[in-house]
Amino acid sequence: MRAYAVSGATSGLSSYHTGGDTFEVLTVTITIPTNATNITLAVKFDASTTAYLDNATAVIGSTAQTYYPLHPADEWERAQRYYEVHGGLAGAPGWPIFTAYTPSTDQPRFVVTFAVRKAVVPTVTVNGTWTGPALTIESPNEAGYAARFTGTAATFNQTYTNSADDTITAEANP
């Protein structure tokens, strides 16, 4: 396995991975022509193998920079800009629990905020079989969403998760 870069008639290959069971840095350097219209960066496999590729970095300049991964908290926050799950905990009742007193078949609304503001308005989906009245998602935006259910009688009504597959997912795909 080796890294490969090409732009027009200019191309370059890194040295081969040694084949050991350790992570190695593969570096390829090319000079990109001033009239370049595209640049291709790839990994070339010359034999059948199982490989793990992680953390590619492109650098402007002639010196490869040392790769420094993000702190896990920063990486987690960036990931949550695009995907977040509420619920998914086993047990009854689980989280989240939506509870309200309804005089009859009123429809209480609950505002839920995301841990991290989303990159775009996400698609918010209720998954699984919740305990209680059916939950409906309304007005999702980058900051959160509204959830509502229809009460069944003049009493305290609630809907909640009762298994690990009961979730509300928010997917923000720009």
Measure Cα distances from 45 to 16, 48, 51, 89 in Å: 10, 7, 9, 42
pLDDT in tens, 143-172: 999 999 998 888 888 888 888 889 999 999
The CATH code for residues 75-171 is 2.60.40
Cβ–Cβ < 8 Å for 151, 133: yes
pLDDT in tens, 65-120: 787 888 999 988 889 999 999 988 776 667 788 888 888 888 899 999 999 999 99
pLDDT confidence of residue 96: 85
Max avg pLDDT among 18-22, 24-28, 51-55, 78-82: 78-82
Domain range summary for the chain, segments of one domain joined by +: 1-69, 75-171
pLDDT confidence of residue 92: 60
pLDDT confidence of residue 93: 64
Cβ–Cβ < 8 Å for 168, 127: yes
Look at residue 52 and tell me whether its pLDDT is greater than 70. yes
In this prediction, what percent of the chain has a pLDDT beyond 70? Answer: 97
Look at residue 63 and tell me whether its pLDDT is greater than 80. no
For residues 120 and 55, the model is more confident at 120
Count Cα neighbours of 101 within 13 Å in the Cβ-side half-sphere: 1
pLDDT confidence of residue 89: 78
